[in-house]
Amino acid sequence: MNGRDAGSGQAAWSHGVLREVAAVLADTDHGLTGREIGDLLARLRMTDPLAGATKRDRLTEAFIARQNTDRSPKRIITFITHAMEPVRYRDRPELFTLRQDRLNERLAFVGLHVNDKGQVARGARAQTLDESTRIATSIRDELQRRKTHSEVLRYCSVEVLKRAHFHACLEATKSIFDRLRTMTGVSGDGATLVDAALSLGKSGTPALAINSLQTQTERDEQTGLANLVKGLGGLYRNPTAHDPRLSRSISDDELLDVLTMVSMVHRRLDGARSPG
């Protein structure tokens, strides 16, 4: 369904919806440039009543003026469709996903969404903030809801936005090994690094301890974390590093599970100390 179809029969949008949609498209960090806004307004023959204002105010007033003229948001929908044309994002696919997610949280209140073709299509209508979040939730939003550790997001946020699940798992699991090297000064990789950093070994004293190691339960917990990190490396880091990309299919649910486990490992490492 294209922008014209989605606009058919649409009641006028509230000032709040117009302003929020404009805020996404004119965002300071991730929005259209002032020149892009001006070019699109001119191409779509939309008036530009506040050309010298901030991008957000400028686009909001342009949307309001056009909706007042048409008594319909159909031209605003056309503007969104042009702004979200996939070819614009050929070099930055993660930017497309970021804008799409943010627009969909707002458009849910008028029963619309931006699909993967960049078109505005009909969708479920939200009445509350919770409904809006539930309808428009992306993997990025779900990771934020789960309060995923910042180290995970630092390593793989771009891959998540690109929906490159294969590489997101690779980068997320790599983050653990990189952090172990940073915290211990130990070189190496894989199981050898984990053994040097976390395993009890013959001495019973690892380079990093996540507890006092005074009881058998605490020692078992330390060993369990070491085995978990080895398992994550074996399941996701090594296969994704060596297998052809197309041979690995990772679903949304599996990706969330992996990133949640990696986040948990980082939280345990937050409290780890040298037992010496």
- Kind plus residue range of the DSSP H or E element containing 112: strand 112-114
Residue 3: its pLDDT value, please?
46
Q: What does DSSP assign to residue 247?
A: G
pLDDT at 41 > cutoff 60: yes
pTM (predicted TM-score): 0.61
Q: Mean per-residue pLDDT for 45-68?
A: 95
pLDDT at 245 > cutoff 70: no
3-class SS letters over 85-100: CHHHHCCCHHHHHHHH
- Kind plus residue range of the DSSP H or E element containing 122: strand 120-122
Contact of 3 with 80, CB cutoff 8 Å: yes
pLDDT at 101 > cutoff 50: yes
pLDDT at 199 > cutoff 60: yes
Residue 56: its pLDDT value, please?
96
